[in-house]
Amino acid sequence: MEVIFKVQRFDPESTDLVSHFQEYNVQLTDSSTVLDGLIKIREEDDGTLSLRCSCRAAICGSCAMRINGEAGLACNTKIIDVMPQDGSPIVIEPAGNLPVIKDLIVDFQPFWAKFKAVEPWLQPGDIQPEGEYIAPEEDMVHLAGVVSCILCGACVSDCTVLEVDDSFLGPAALAKAYRFSRDPRDESDDQRLAQLNEPGGVWDCTRCMKCVEVCPKGVDPMDRIMLLREKVMDAGHNNTSGARHANAFAKFLKNSGWLDELKLPVMSFGIFNIKAMIGLIPLGIKSQLAGKRPPIFHHKLSSAKEIKKIFEKVESKK
């Protein structure tokens, strides 16, 4: 079958220094992948097209790129799954949130810098075992789910926070941090969790789920970040707006069965955070004018008791 690719090209040595799209028609089969198509272009049609790719089997992590606007590995994306029905082209762009070097090749330096920032190596205690560390198989199987991350950068490409704030450590580095923090052999939790509690760390995720959607390996970075938040709070780091927000949320639900949206921002930011309080004024006025202001007197839901029971049950299990 004939497939049309519309590929973003960029040549840093050209004079105009802008990217443009180029279309290619390629003959492929039902079982072909996007990478098969790009390699065919590169080998048979246009040798100037540059992309990274290597294993062809979704393990080396080289070929993450945007396919029809969403990050994925070219090698395990089948043409028939992404070819638009109406005959329009498959659009191929470089991974997002990283500077483009040439065509589909992006600069991974920022990615590796964040990877390194979480001190991604096992930090065991002083007592080295004779042989291997004894560790439960469940823990190892659980960690294998994170260790299967191939560092392809798909999650980073489509992370909506990184799009606006590049100080965020990002889903890949945080998933890596989780991997060590959850390792029964690692004893550096105190220091790791303190670092992750800082700005740019676990609290900067907005839970948009994009990383979970695009991860080709089912690593679920966002879920790992949420588990890290729990660990951070359990370790006693309760003094960030994120932690206070989570605590306030829980407190309201437990006591009244629903959120007191008037007090929630105050408790999250802290009443003495004058700047944040002033910042909230316009929002307050807007919601008042739109008739959306939460009630001044927060009342209990009739079913609040039941909800409280749920909380107590969960808390007693911890």
Partner 1 sequence: MIDHDVLIIGAGLAGLRAALCAKEQGVDVAVVTKVHPVRSHSNAAQGGINAALTDRGDDWRDHAYDTIKGSDFLGDQDAIEVMCREAGDEVISMENMGAIFNRDENGNLGTRNFGGQREARTFFVADFTGQALLHVLYEQIVKAGAFVYEEWFVLSLIVRDGKCGGVVMMDIKTGKIEVVRAKAVILATGGLGRVFEPSTNALICTGDGMSLAYRAGAELMDMEMVQYHPTTLKGSGVLLSEAARGEGAYLLNSENERFMLKYAPEFKELASRDVVSRCEQTEIDEGRGIDGCVLLDVRHLGEKYINERLSQIRELGIDFANVDMVKEPVPVMPGMHYAMGGVKADIDGKTAVPGLYAAGEVACISVHGGNRLGANSLLDTLVFGRRSGIHAAEMVKSVKHLSIDDSAAQDDIKQINQLLSNEKNESFGKVRLDMGTGMKKHLGVYRDQSSMEKALELVKDIKERAKSIYVADKTKTFNTNLMFSIELGFMTECAEAIAASAIQRQESRGAHTRTDKPDRDDENWLKHILVTKAEESHDISFLDVIITDWEPVIRQY
Residues in contact with partner 1 by the rule CB under 8 A: 11-13, 31, 33, 42-44, 46-48, 50-62, 76, 78, 101-103, 105, 108, 112, 116, 119-122, 124, 128-129, 131-137, 140-141, 143-144, 147-148, 150-151, 183, 185
Sign of the CA dihedral running 240, 245, 250, 255: positive
How near is the Cβ of 136 to partner 1 at its closest, in Å?
A: 6
Q: How many CB atoms sit inside 10 A of residue 129's CB?
A: 9
How near is the Cβ of 10 to partner 1 at its closest, in Å?
A: 10
Measured CA to CA, the distance from residue 217 to residue 149 in angstroms comes to 6
**Nearer to partner 1 (CB atom), residue 33 or residue 240:** 33
- Encoding tokens for residue 34? 């996007």
- Encoding tokens for residue 41? 């272009």
How near is the Cβ of 231 to partner 1 at its closest, in Å?
A: 18
The burial class, CB within 10 Å (0-12 / 13-18 / 19+), for 264 is middle
**Nearer to partner 1 (CB atom), residue 55 or residue 310:** 55
**Nearer to partner 1 (CB atom), residue 34 or residue 243:** 34
Q: Which amino acid is at 197?
A: N
**Nearer to partner 1 (CB atom), residue 50 or residue 241:** 50
33: β partners: 78
**Nearer to partner 1 (CB atom), residue 86 or residue 126:** 126
Q: Which residues contact 39 (CB under 8 A, 6 or more apart)?
A: 53
**Nearer to partner 1 (CB atom), residue 73 or residue 159:** 73
**Nearer to partner 1 (CB atom), residue 54 or residue 167:** 54
How near is the Cβ of 110 to partner 1 at its closest, in Å?
A: 14
**Nearer to partner 1 (CB atom), residue 147 or residue 266:** 147
Q: What is the DSSP string of 211-266?
A: HHHH-TT---HHHHHHHHHHHHHHTT---SHHHHHHHHHHHHHHHHSS--TTHHHH
Contact (Cβ atoms closer than 8 angstroms) between residue 107 and residue 166: no
Cite the beta strand spans of the chain per DSSP E: 2-9, 20-27, 64-67, 70-73, 90-94, 100-102, 105-106
How near is the Cβ of 120 to partner 1 at its closest, in Å?
A: 5
How near is the Cβ of 236 to partner 1 at its closest, in Å?
A: 26
Element containing residue 164 per DSSP (H, E): helix 160-164
How near is the Cβ of 18 to partner 1 at its closest, in Å?
A: 16
Closest listed residue to residue 216, CA positions, set 105, 75, 118: 75
How near is the Cβ of 32 to partner 1 at its closest, in Å?
A: 9
